[in-house]
């Protein structure tokens, strides 16, 4: 049996379809919060660090506002870089050619879990 860390983030139904939710987590041994976003797209769930590769800021200009006006891309609210939903690659904007840091995620028993990261409870 694998001893890989599995950390429950939220219930699947807490993230509406074609929306993302931001979370502030804490990695063991670190004091500063670690912002991540969980994105639900139909039956698929994606997770990325909530950190724009352009200037390192969080993407959401308002809490949980991650999706652009077309409904097809993640967007950085600061300068408008667009990121592909399924890869996190920047398709347009100041950080074109770079991408969001993807995190491993799984859905188990209706709960969204991050895999392989050592997080502090709470």
Interacting residues toward ligand FES by CB under 6 A: 52, 54-55, 57, 76, 78-79, 81, 93-95
Q: How far is the CB of 35 from ligand FES (least distance, A)?
A: 13
Burial 2-18 (b: 16+ CB within 10 A, else e): eeeeeeebeeeeebeee
Q: How far is the CB of 60 from ligand FES (least distance, A)?
A: 11
DSSP string over 96-118: TT-BPPEE-EEEETTEEEEES--
Closest CA to 20 of 45, 37, 8, 44: 37
Nearest residue (CB) to ligand FES, 19 versus 57: 57
Q: How far is the CB of 106 from ligand FES (least distance, A)?
A: 28
Nearest residue (CB) to ligand FES, 54 versus 84: 54
Q: How far is the CB of 99 from ligand FES (least distance, A)?
A: 12
Nearest residue (CB) to ligand FES, 15 versus 75: 75
Beta carbons of 52 and 58 less than 8 angstroms apart = yes
């Amino acid at each position: 049996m694998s001893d890989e860390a599995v950390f429950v983030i939220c219930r699947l139904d807490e993230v509406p379809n074609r929306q993302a939710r931001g979370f502030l987590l804490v990695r063991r041994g670190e004091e500063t919060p670690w912002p991540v976003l969980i994105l639900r797209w139909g039956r698929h769930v994606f997770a990325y660090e909530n950190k724009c590769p352009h200037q390192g800021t969080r993407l959401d200009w308002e809490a949980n506002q991650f999706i652009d006006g077309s409904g097809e891309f993640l967007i950085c609210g600061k300068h408008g870089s667009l990121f592909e939903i399924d890869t996190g690659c920047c398709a347009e904007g100041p950080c074109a050619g770079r991408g969001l840091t993807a995190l491993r995620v799984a859905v188990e028993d209706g709960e969204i879990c991050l895999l392989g990261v050592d997080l502090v409870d709470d």
